[in-house]
Amino acid sequence: MTSDYTMPMEFCPQCKSMMMPKDGMMVCRKCGHKMPKTAGGESMVSKTKQLNRVVPVLEQESAGLPTTSARCPKCGHNVAYWWLRQLRSADESEVRFFRCTKCNETWREYD
């Protein structure tokens, strides 16, 4: 019989035998020496059990973006998020970008 339950061992200060918990005390099986149980004794309930849910960070926020009907070049889905992006050079106009709501394919609108 194997057990992964580990209990802090207590040894009798008089005869060095292992002590057993009994009636809320630690009692030496050999000489009968009694001493109070150490804190935490047999109920070592882990209070550090916490669920660490890691929320994946999206490369770009899709939530809140408007959708439009645009055909995805990848999967053929016809609903996509869209946004405008001003290009650096002044003589270029705003470019419309699309992102497929189904497969997240992102593309820009070509004239």
Q: Which residues are catalytic?
A: 91-92
Task: Give me the residue label for tokens 């497929």.
Answer: 100
Task: Enumerate helices (H) and strands (E) in the chain, giving the number of each.
Answer: 0, 7
Surface-to-core class of residue 83, CB atoms within 10 Å of its CB (0-12 exposed, 13-18 middle, 19+ buried): middle
Taking the least distance from each CB to Zn ion, the nearer of 22 and 93 is 22
Measured from the CB of residue 11, what is the shortest distance to Zn ion in angstroms? 8
Measured from the CB of residue 92, what is the shortest distance to Zn ion in angstroms? 26
Taking the least distance from each CB to Zn ion, the nearer of 41 and 104 is 104
User: Which residues of this protein are in contact with Zn ion, per CB under 5 A?
Assistant: 12, 14-15, 17, 28, 30-31, 33, 72, 74-75, 77, 100, 102-103, 105
Distance CA 36, CA 57 (A): 52
